[in-house]
Amino acid sequence: MNPSIPPSTTEYGGDEVSAIVLDPGYSTTRAGFAGEDTPKSVVPTYYGKYSTDTEKYIFGDDIFVTPRPGLSIHNPIGRDGVVEDWEMAEKLWEYSFKSRLIGAKPQNPLLNGLNEVPEGELPTEMEGVETEEKPLADSPLLMSECGWNPTKAREKTIEIAMESWGTPAFYLAKNGVLAAFAAGKASALVVDVGASNVSVTPVHDGMVLKRGVQHSPLGGDYISSQIRAMFKNNSPQPITITPHYLVASKTPVEAGQPPQATYKTFPPDKAPDASYRTLLEERTLTEFKECVVQVWPGPNKLSSVGPNGVSNEELAKSSPGRPFEFPDGYNQVFGVDRYRVVESLFDAKAAIPDPGSDFAAPTQAQTIPELIKSALNGVDVDIRPHLLANVVVTGASSLLYGFNDRLSQELMQSFPSPRVRISAPGNTAERRFGSWIGGSILASLGAFHQMWISKKEYDEHGANIVEKRCK
């Protein structure tokens, strides 16, 4: 099939029905129809698992609601953004589009209980007919992937889409390219700050420059671990997070006073797994990040001293604090500490040490300014100024207050001569769903129809076609 010739009428063009765009991330999985502004379905990528007589699974927001006995929380995607548990990833993705986007498929009318069929036999003409249609038999599917996704994982993805879901056409696009398209750019340097990692992707004319792709584990979850470290060192006493499901009632207390709450307890055989509590603590930490945490806007690091001899920390102390109340009623006003928890994204030495954390202490090479330098060093000198003039910021963790100001300051210090321009939409939905919106734009373009991998081509060439067609 020659990509420069439009598909013939017998081949699938993807015109009749709008495609489904699926953008799986470490924290949430987004799905919706191409051509729309925001995804219809946003579900947590975490799922719950518990045993009655058999193993049962809980998907979607229901995992936050019921602390069932022995309920444990898992994530099919590894911290590096690559799928680890394919069986559960498939179930979860299927849930994300089945729950909101496609209704129940029509079943064989002979099985609706109104027609009496003698036991043990089906009328002859219905034999051999699949009673269950595949969920995506009518919809082409565009999926996103991280810039370092291995070949095996890419082949497995098209296999699931074609074999299990029966999609008539499929395409796999890189997150960086989609985020650039969402910002209206064909060439850009995409800085994506997600839950599990930060990635910097140079995109030129709609193609990812693979040598320049950089990523490090300093994403939203790392910031949460820094907040935990700050809570441990808090004075007068360390702060412990008690999730909502363990608080029966509470009475208001003054700032900094011990909480006055009555707690629920679960007997050991009724208690959920420790991973459930961790998940709900993370929700409180996310709220804390949204309400309290700020990035020191610059110029220079939080630890450095200004030209008038006053340190930036002193300046930060003079700005009014931000209050926060925890689920058990404990509340406090957070001053300079709210800047410290994110400082290590820009300055590795500023990390709050925590031996109990899942994250290793960051190195300077993992900070955002260094990742951007390494990404630019991996591409041709001629296009560096063009990329710096089109820096696209995306990912929900980039919504931290003051993040763009600081990034802009850091880039201007590192690259004084070229013009640095940061494009970061103020609309929070556009930042949270950047790569989904790019996919929505791409899959609804008329010119994109010849890019789809049709079922016919997949049957002919096998899963390896995804390597040739989805560069």
Average pLDDT taken over every residue of the chain: 90
pLDDT at 107 over 80: no
Using only C-alpha atoms, the chain has a radius of gyration, in whole angstroms, of 25
- Taking residues 160-177, report their average pLDDT: 96
Cβ contact 34:142 at 8 Å: yes
pLDDT at 118 over 60: no
pLDDT in tens, 262-289: 999 999 889 999 999 999 999 999 999 9
Q: Among residues of the chain, what percentage have pLDDT more than 70? A: 90
Picking from 368, 365, 347, 394, the residue whose alpha carbon sits closest to that of residue 203 is 394
Residue 401: which pLDDT band, with cuts at 50, 70 and 90?
A: very high
Q: What is the pLDDT of residue 265?
A: 92
pLDDT at 3 over 80: no
Residue 398 tokens, joined: 């980039």
Give the separation between CA 217 and CA 197, rounded to whole angstroms: 4
Residue 419 tokens, joined: 């013009």
Q: What is the pLDDT of residue 193?
A: 97
Residue 415 forms part of a structural domain: no
- Taking residues 32-44, report their average pLDDT: 95
Residue 165 forms part of a structural domain: no
pLDDT in tens, 416-442: 877 999 999 888 999 999 999 999 999
Q: What is the pLDDT of residue 307?
A: 83
313 CB contacts (<8 Å, ≥6 apart)?
A: 302, 303, 336
Classify strands 214-216 and 198-204 as parallel, antiparallel or unpaired: antiparallel
Residue 110: which pLDDT band, with cuts at 50, 70 and 90?
A: low
Q: What is the pLDDT of residue 177?
A: 96
Length of the chain, in residues: 471
Range of the domain at 362: 220-366
- Taking residues 299-319, report their average pLDDT: 89
Residue 137 forms part of a structural domain: no
Return the ∠ at Cα 264 (arms to 259 and 270), rounded to 5°.
Answer: 150
Q: Residue 285 is which amino acid?
A: L
Residue 10: which pLDDT band, with cuts at 50, 70 and 90?
A: very low
The CATH number for 258's domain is 3.90.640.10
Residue 128: which pLDDT band, with cuts at 50, 70 and 90?
A: very low
pLDDT at 120 over 70: no
Domain count, the chain: 1
Own/partner contacts of 150-155, CB < 8 Å, gap of 24 or more, are 150/82, 151/467, 153/82, 153/83, 154/466, 154/467, 154/470, 155/463, 155/464, 155/466, 155/467
Cis ω on the peptide bond leading into residue 236 (within 30° of 0)?
yes
Cβ contact 291:324 at 8 Å: yes
Q: What is the pLDDT of residue 299?
A: 85
pLDDT at 115 over 70: no
Residue 5: which pLDDT band, with cuts at 50, 70 and 90?
A: low
pLDDT in tens, 47-103: 999 998 899 999 999 999 889 999 999 999 999 999 999 999 999 999 999 998 886
Residue 113: which pLDDT band, with cuts at 50, 70 and 90?
A: low
Residue 288 forms part of a structural domain: yes
For residue 228, give Cα distances in angstroms to 11, 223, 231, 281, 341.
55, 9, 5, 10, 9
pLDDT at 14 over 70: no
pLDDT in tens, 218-239: 999 999 999 999 999 988 889 9
Q: Among residues of the chain, what percentage have pLDDT more than 90? A: 77
Q: What is the pLDDT of residue 17?
A: 64
**Sign of the torsion angle spanned by Cα atoms 385, 198, 41, 163:** positive
Picking from 48, 70, 72, 51, the residue whose alpha carbon sits closest to that of residue 268 is 70
Cβ contact 371:158 at 8 Å: no
